[in-house]
Every structure is written in structure tokens, then in C-alpha cells.
Amino acid sequence: MNGNSKYKWLLFVIISILLIGRVTIAEDEEPVPSSLYGPDDHITILHSNNFDKKVYNQKKVFFVEFFSSWCGACIGYAETYKQLAKQLLQWKHVVEIAAVDCADNQNLKLCREHNVQAFPTLKYFKYMSTNANDGVDYRGNAHNLNGVPLDIAEFVYNDWIYQKPVEWPSFQTSD
């Protein structure tokens, strides 16, 4: 072999080893989903570039799941959250169901600002919220598809009592 042939052969061997190594790694690892929710799930995907604009100073409330796409509990909860979004779809003009993937590097600061310390974390943002401090941790049973909408309705009712949003249906009873 001349010098040029040896160089080509060595280059071929190195590239082959690198490619085989990559294939082996790819076969051994589970792919990490970019998100647990898609466009058909009726869940607004929030991230660091749109959170403030979509959530703050809005004439509706937001129920937001802060999750991590690699988290087993979050993956297990995703179907329940999708069902919740579907249940509350008729209230979309008052209650927006949304989610933030804290595993996405661009959202790390956002998740820290909202004091997310465990996954999933659910927060309620009132009508005309202005900052992270307006997010209230949801402490109910997040897996109870009968109870969560009632808890959200109670949050909404309290917002209506204190803020009287004219855009919302009236909760006033007629005497």
C-alpha cells in the first residue's frame, strides 16, 4: 500500500468505527420525545418565548402543567391531562389548558421562575395574571377527572367573585 492508500484505509476504518458506535448507542437508548402533547390534544404548548405573552394579562385563566418529557410520572399522567383538556374544551374561552416541558433547555429559567421543584407540577393562573407569583399550585387529586374540573371551576368562580370579568358568563343567581 502506498501512503495515499493507507490514509484512505485508515480514514475508512475510523469512520466505520464511529458509525458503528453511533448505531450501537442509538439502539441501546430510548428516544426522548420532544413533548408529550400534540396539536390534537387541545393543550396549549408554552415555552420561554411565548409564556408571558400567552398567560399574563389575559382575559381568561390558565391551568398549566409543568412537566418533564423524560419523567415517568409525567408520561403516565399525560393521558389524564389530555382527557382533562378535552373535558374542558367547551370552556376554552374562560379556561386554557396548557403545558411547559421543563426538560427543554430553553425552558429551564422559566421553570425555575415558577418554582417548579417536582414533576408534574400543576398551577392555576388567575384572570389577568401579571407574573409568576400569580400561579397557584394545584393541591387536589390531579388524577381525579371528576374532581379536577370542579376544583378549576371553584378557582374560576373565586376569580369571578373578586374580579367580575365582563367577558365571562355570570355566576350571579337571580333572586
Q: Looking at the annotation, which residues are catalytic?
A: 71, 74
**CA 144 remoteness from chain centre:** 19
CA distance 51 to 58: 11
Please give the span between the terminal C-alpha atoms of the chain, in angstroms, as a whole number: 101
Q: Which residues contact 41 (CB under 8 A, 6 or more apart)?
A: 82, 85
DSSP lists the bridge partners of residue 124 as 63, 136
- 3 state SS of 117: coil
C-alpha gyration radius of the chain: 23
- Which of 112, 127, 115, 140 shows the shortest CA–CA distance to 48? 112
Cα gap 174→50, rounded to integer Å:
40
